Structure 1
Amino acid sequence: MLNFTYYGHSAFLLDDGKYKVLFDPFLTGNPKASIKAEDVDCDYILISHAHADHLGDAPEIAARTGAELVGIPEVLAVCEQRVPGLKQHPMNLGGSLTLPFGKVRMTLAQHSAGVAGGIACGYVVYMGGEVVYFAGDTALFSDMQLIGHKDQLDYALLPIGDNYTMGLEDAAMAAQLLNARHVIPIHYNTWPLINQDVRHYKEITEAMSRAEVHIVEPGQSMELK
């Protein structure tokens, strides 16, 4: 069993009943955040890049909870500058890491990193019997097809907000390339600049791919199965 809880923007939690894995915890200053940073409990935090709306409260949450950070070395260095002495698992693109809850593979993302010398990334996570792809912030790129070929994806979490990431059409094509069974759209409607009609996204994605699209509002949870 694997439970997904959406905290708004690109922040979410995966919980297998034993371990809690938090992603891109931008909570303080997030107008859509459904939880406060001081109320989050987690064992691991995966960070896609160092932009403020993704790195967010990661160092402070890690310091409070004892959670271990996973990310690109340059991004983890930003965390270390803010809160020294954090537990870290540096990775880079194409690498895999085995953790107590399962396996994490770091994937390419086409996006700026928010820190000099760094790169943006996504993750494929094996946890609770499911294979979950978190794209991070990214443009559409053809090698998404390779990600879906290497890892038979159950769920893909894709940004759809446009301007800074893929928009509706590109994110629908991403679902097609990834060949995921399910898609959960994220990174939209946080601010007017990235407002999108998520129901239209569901329509076009389900028309052009095998994916079932699940619209999850901030604060809502769903069982991944």
Structure 2
Amino acid sequence: MIGLTYYGHSTFLLDIAGEKVLFDPFISANELAKDIDISMIKPDYILVTHGHSDHVADVEQIAKASGAKLIANFEIATWFANKGISNYHPMNHGGKLKLPFGTVKMVNAIHSSTLPDGASGGNPAGFVIETAQGTFYYAGDTALTYDMKLIGESYDIDFAFLPIGDNFTMDIHDAIKAADFVKTDKIIGMHYDTFGYIKVDHEAIKAAAKQAGKQLHILKIGEKTNI
């Protein structure tokens, strides 16, 4: 079992056998997460999918305060290295990294990626993470893509973090197809409601998931659960 805390947008903190793994930290600039004190977040690892500000806004502050290892593509990792983050590991698509909590593989995502100052954020990505407690897919910001079928063919995915906000990413219907592609019935929704462009009808998305036989987890900001 993996412990999970939701901090809004696409930001999750996972407790995997005592190791704390933070994804795409965007908290202090998110009005919906104004009650979250980021000084209390002390991850061991920070995983970043792409360079947009709504995924990297709090990387520098949290990494420097916690000493967490930053894991991202080469462009993002070295961009933060120039900001004084020395504990980092660059990756790229198809590569794997073994860590104390499991194995991280960087996989494809269809999106864009520019860092806050306009620098290239390289290619956007997702992650497949294998652990003794379960294997999961963190899609990052992405469109539906047939590449997801390769994940389903190669891994036994227990659950998937999938964007559902539409406009910039998949909507719930494409997320359901993505879950089919990676062969899981458990979806943790992300990248919705934060901005006007990605507001969703909660009842409608829950109904769509139920009709498709999927377990859709829509968490409240600050909520903790086990999965």
Q: Same fold (TM over 0.5)?
A: yes
CA distance in 2, matches of 1:117, 1:30: 21
Contact 1:59–1:80 (8 Å) recurs in 2: no
Contact 1:173–1:205 (8 Å) recurs in 2: no
Give the letter for the 1:99 counterpart.
L
Are residue 214 (structure 1) and residue 227 (structure 2) matched? no
Contact 1:2–1:128 (8 Å) recurs in 2: no
Which piece of structure 1 moves more, 123-132 or 182-191?
A: 123-132
CA distance in 2, matches of 1:207, 1:181: 12
Pairing partner for 1:194 from 180, 183, 198: 198
Contact 2:81–2:88 (8 Å) recurs in 1: no
The 1:189/1:85 distance shift into structure 2, 3 A limit, reads closer
Contact 1:27–1:35 (8 Å) recurs in 2: yes
* Secondary structure at 1:21 match in 2: strand
CA distance in 1, matches of 2:193, 2:151: 27
* Secondary structure at 2:13 match in 1: strand
* Secondary structure at 1:8 match in 2: coil
Which residue matches 2:14? 14
Per the normalisation by structure 1, the TM-score is: 0.93
Which residue matches 1:119? 123
For residue 37 of structure 1, report the CA deviation from its aligned partner.
Answer: 2.1
- Alignment size in residue pairs: 222
Aligned-residue CA RMSD (Å)? 1.5
Which residue matches 2:41? 40
CA distance in 1, matches of 2:46, 2:202: 27
CA distance in 2, matches of 1:171, 1:197: 15
Contact 1:112–1:119 (8 Å) recurs in 2: yes
Give the letter for the 2:226 counterpart.
E
Are residue 94 (structure 1) and residue 97 (structure 2) matched? no
Give the letter for the 2:3 counterpart.
N
Segments of structure 2 that go 5 or more residues without pairing to the other structure are none
Are residue 152 (structure 1) and residue 156 (structure 2) matched? yes
For residue 17 of structure 1, report the CA deviation from its aligned partner.
Answer: 4.3
- Give deviations 1:107-140, integer Å, cap 9, x for gaps: 1000111142601000011235111111000011
The 1:60/1:128 distance shift into structure 2, 3 A limit, reads farther
Contact 1:2–1:15 (8 Å) recurs in 2: yes
Which residue matches 1:203? 207
Segments of structure 1 that go 5 or more residues without pairing to the other structure are none
Are residue 103 (structure 1) and residue 103 (structure 2) matched? yes
Give the letter for the 2:41 counterpart.
V
Contact 1:63–1:86 (8 Å) recurs in 2: no
For residue 94 of structure 1, report the CA deviation from its aligned partner.
Answer: 0.9
